[in-house]
Structure 1
Amino acid sequence: MAQETLILIPARMQATRLPGKPLADIHGKPMIVHVWRRAVEANAGRVIVATDSAEILQAVKAAGGEAVMTRADHASGSDRIYEAVTKVDPAHKAEIIVNLQGDLPTLDPRLVPECVAPLGSGETDIATLAALIADDDERGNPNVVKVVGTPIGENRLRALYFTRATAPHGEGPLFHHIGIYAYRRDSLERFVGLPPAVLEKREKLEQLRALEAQMRIDVAIVDTVPLGVDTPADLERARRLIAP
């Protein structure tokens, strides 16, 4: 029997570079609604927006979506989705939890099941995505997170490290990490209970907390990177990419 999946989209209003980002207008609809629709089109599980904003909650509900209020003081999206899971699924029916960022309005829906697929291995705690870096400018860009991993099959890596540096050294491919995660439910519970780790704080990459705790992260290699909207320029690019 297929494992039940919950797709959670954390969304908060506070964004330094683009205030009110989830409600930014893209062809007459808030950005968070575009992300919710892409997640629904994935047909991979129940989709819920987890927010600390009544405005976001109402925008999602007005579009016909499901949303839940969470506390405003969460340090990360992982903490927010964990609170949401405990609220919307207290009976523990869902065994797989997807953390889908709320600033990916150009998301290709097929990336959601692609992210979940590595959990088919019973040894995997967390699954995520990466794409081959083809642009030389991305190789040295600290805003492009790289995953260093060992191949474990066709288009699969076992993650050894995540870094903002250009790594690994030497000839060979580099992989751009895509910040979508699928957790086994007990792995998510364990992860949010861990204290911030040394390398996590140094690189400012939350996923290193899991690796430092010896949790296994497997990576599916895909052929597209969704646009993450962090700045007004990103928003304009998203408007151009999404047909009105």
Structure 2
Amino acid sequence: MVLGLIPARFASTRLPGKPLLDLGEQSMIQRVVAQARQANLARVVVATDDDRIMRHVEDFGGEAVLTSPAHPSGTDRVWEAFQQLGSPAEVHCIVNIQGDEPFINPRQINALADLFADPATAPAIATLVKPVLTEEELFSPHLPKVVLNQLGYAMYFSRHPLPYQRNHERAEWLAHHRYLRHLGLYAYQPKVLEQLTQLPVSPLEAAESLEQLRWLEAGFQIRCAETELDAFGIDTPEDVVKARARLER
């Protein structure tokens, strides 16, 4: 059984109440739930820290649990939600779906869930990557990049493009190397998720502000599935305008 959990907190520095934002007659969180329900998930549950979000999800027919507002990350919120659901033994994969990506494609969710179909080969953790297509993407610190080994596992994540190309000008980097960008969709074995929530902040995580580096430093392997489909998270008022324009096309 694959369980989809969507962390959604009310507080946001730039967009308070972000999950409840109206996007074309539906809230953002309603759109995320609708997209997730089209994937091969046995159950989709919103994990929130606010009664208003929980009531709203229940009003449109979704399922939600109320979690502590003190969680430092969505990973911790997802683990508490799983516990509140009774930690069902039949769940072999938990997919952590970002609550601020109303255009998440069900095929992206399935790409991760499929990696866990066979218990004998299932990874501990999996995430998504996509090819970097533009110089703007490559050098944006807001779009983390990832370096993989030959088996498809992450070696390192960084806000800086890696590798550094010593013999080429920056404008030529994309022509000489295939760079990959990280998309913030994760899947885990339940027992692994529990272990991740017990890890302290690591030096690399503190330097780059990327939680997945904590896991790598602790010795966990992260399998990466590649997608050509893009991701569009909503973090700023400008993003809201773009999302509404996209829905009007």
The residue that corresponds to 1:122 in the other structure is 121
Indicate the residue corresponding to 1:149 in structure 2.
148
Structure 1 letter corresponding to 2:156: Y
Check whether the contact 1:118–1:219 (CA below 8 A) recurs between aligned residues: no
One of 155, 159, 162 as aligned partner of 1:160: 155
* Selected match of 1:192 from 193, 197, 205: 197
- Mapped to 2, the partners of 1:151 and 1:243 lie a distance apart of 42
Are 1:130 and 1:220, in contact at CA under 8 Å, matched by a contact in 2? yes
Deviates more, 1:121-130 or 1:54-63: 121-130
- Deviation by residue 1:26-79 (Cα, 9 ceiling, x = unmatched): 112110000010000113221000001111111111111100000110000000
Which residue identity does 1:197 align to in structure 2?
S
TM-score by length of 1: 0.93
- In the TM superposition, 1:36-75 aligns within 5 A as 36-75=33-72
Equivalent residues of 2:2, 2:40 under 8 A apart? no
TM-score, normalisation: structure 2? 0.91
Of 167, 170, 181, the match for 1:176: 181
Paired with 2:87 and 2:113, the residues of 1 have a C-alpha distance of 22
Separation in structure 2 between the aligned mates of residue 53 and residue 194 of structure 1, nearest angstrom: 26
For residue 123 of structure 1, report the CA deviation from its aligned partner. Answer: 6.0
Whichever residue aligns with residue 79 of structure 1, its letter is: D
1:240 shift after superposition? 1.9
Of residues 11, 14, 28 in structure 2, which corresponds to 1:14? 11
Aligned residue number for residue 203 of structure 1: 208
Residue 117 of structure 1: how far off its partner (Å): 2.7
What amino acid does structure 2 have at the position aligned with 1:210? W
Describe the SS at the equivalent of 1:29.
Answer: coil
Shift in Å at residue 243 of structure 1? Answer: 5.0
**Pair 1:131 & 2:130 matched:** yes
- 3-state DSSP class of the match of 2:163? coil
Paired AA for residue 165 in structure 1: H
Q: CA offset at residue 242 of structure 1?
A: 2.5
Query: RMSD of the alignment, in Å?
Result: 1.4
Q: Give the unaligned 5+ runs of structure 2.
A: 166-175
Q: Which has a greater percent of strand?
A: 1
Report SS of the residue matched to 1:89.
Answer: coil
Q: Return the alpha-carbon distance in structure 1 between the equivalents of residues 187 and 88 of structure 2.
A: 19
Q: Give 2:79's match in structure 1, choosing from 77, 82, 104.
A: 82
Structure 1 residue aligned with 2:32: 35
* SS of residue paired to 1:103: coil
Corresponding residue pairs, total: 237
Contact in 1 for aligned 2:146/2:180 (Cα 8 Å)? yes
Distance in 2 of aligned mates of 1:233 and 1:25: 14
Contact 2:32 2:102 in 1 (8 A): yes
Structure 1 position 5 matched with structure 2 position 2? yes
Contact 1:229 1:235 in 2 (8 A): yes
Q: Please list every run of at least 4 consecutive aligned residues from structure 1 whose deviation after the TM superposition is greater than 6 angstroms.
A: none
